[in-house]
């Protein structure tokens, strides 16, 4: 899927406001999570393993979210509680692209800006991108809690790539660090 056909995907465009964090602050945060060049290289290698399996990964993640009412409510009508199918599909397209973007991130200003935008879309700007009539914010506690299922469920896909076990460990560890880093950046939208 080309990025132009992903509803609401604005990475790298002028529509994305500048992050309140600096690139120096990003470097400090990367140091705090022990995220380095070897992790970037492992993520790059994981992209090849995951790129052709994005829909399968999303099926696992959506199955998990859909099985828990406390999570599904963030994609449901705020009054009726019924899941909003179109909203789920639009988010799914961006979520799929997020997998590829995470594996190819440059950690530059455009990437940092988009992380702030993702955080904003989880909190103060939720629903605006898709015109959804859902709850106004995703509780930060669930964004943090989802670090584990998101990263743990990637491991079987990395293993299926045929990579050696130690390489799977490196790619999986890099994913865990990258997701922690992103969630930490997304939290800025909640605390400012």
Over residues 148-155, mean pLDDT: 98
Residue 1 has what pLDDT?
53
* Confidence band, pLDDT 50/70/90 cuts, at residue 111: very high
Domains defined along the chain, listed by start: 19-191 (1.10.490.10)
Query: pLDDT digit string (tens) for 5-46?
Result: 899 999 999 999 999 999 999 999 999 999 999 999 999 999
Is residue 60 pLDDT above 80, yes or no? yes
Over residues 87-100, mean pLDDT: 97
Neighbours of 170 (CB within 10 A): 20
* Confidence band, pLDDT 50/70/90 cuts, at residue 98: very high
Over residues 113-124, mean pLDDT: 97
Neighbours of 191 (CB within 10 A): 8
pTM above 0.85, yes or no: yes
Is residue 175 pLDDT above 70, yes or no? yes
Q: Where are the beta strands (DSSP E) in 49-152?
A: none
Of 70, 52, 33, 32, the C-alpha closest to 178 is 33
Q: What is the distance between the alpha carbons of residues 2 and 6, in angstroms, rounded to a whole number?
A: 7
Structure tokens given for 94: 């961006």
Residue 37 has what pLDDT?
98
Structure tokens given for 35: 């995220």
The mean of the pLDDT values for the chain is: 96
Residue 136 carries which DSSP code? S
Asked whether 52 and 109 are in contact (CB, 8 A), the reply is no
Alpha helices in 23-164 (DSSP H): 23-32, 37-51, 54-67, 69-72, 85-104, 109-122, 140-145, 147-152, 155-159
Angle at 140 between CA 137 and CA 143, to 5 degrees: 100
Residue 192 has what pLDDT?
76
Half-sphere exposure of 20 (CA within 13 A, CB side): 10
């Amino acid at each position: 899927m080309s990025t132009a056909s992903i509803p609401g995907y604005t990475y790298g465009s002028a529509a994305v406001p500048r992050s309140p964090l600096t690139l120096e602050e990003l470097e400090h945060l990367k140091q705090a999570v022990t995220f380095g060049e070897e992790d970037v290289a492992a993520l790059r290698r994981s992209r090849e393993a995951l790129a052709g399996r994005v829909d399968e990964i999303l099926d696992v993640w959506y199955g998990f979210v859909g099985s828990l009412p406390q999570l599904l409510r963030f994609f449901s009508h705020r009054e009726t509680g019924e899941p909003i199918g179109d909203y789920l599909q639009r988010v799914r397209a961006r979520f799929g692209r997020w997998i590829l973007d995470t594996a190819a991130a440059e950690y530059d200003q455009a990437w940092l800006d988009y992380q702030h935008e993702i955080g904003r879309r989880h909190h103060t700007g939720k629903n605006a991108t898709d015109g959804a009539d859902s709850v106004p914010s995703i509780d930060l506690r669930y964004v943090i809690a989802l670090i584990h299922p998101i990263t743990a469920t990637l491991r079987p896909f990395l293993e299926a790539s045929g990579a050696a076990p130690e390489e799977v460990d490196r790619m999986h560890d890099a994913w865990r660090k990258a997701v922690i880093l992103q969630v930490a950046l997304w939290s800025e939208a909640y605390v400012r």
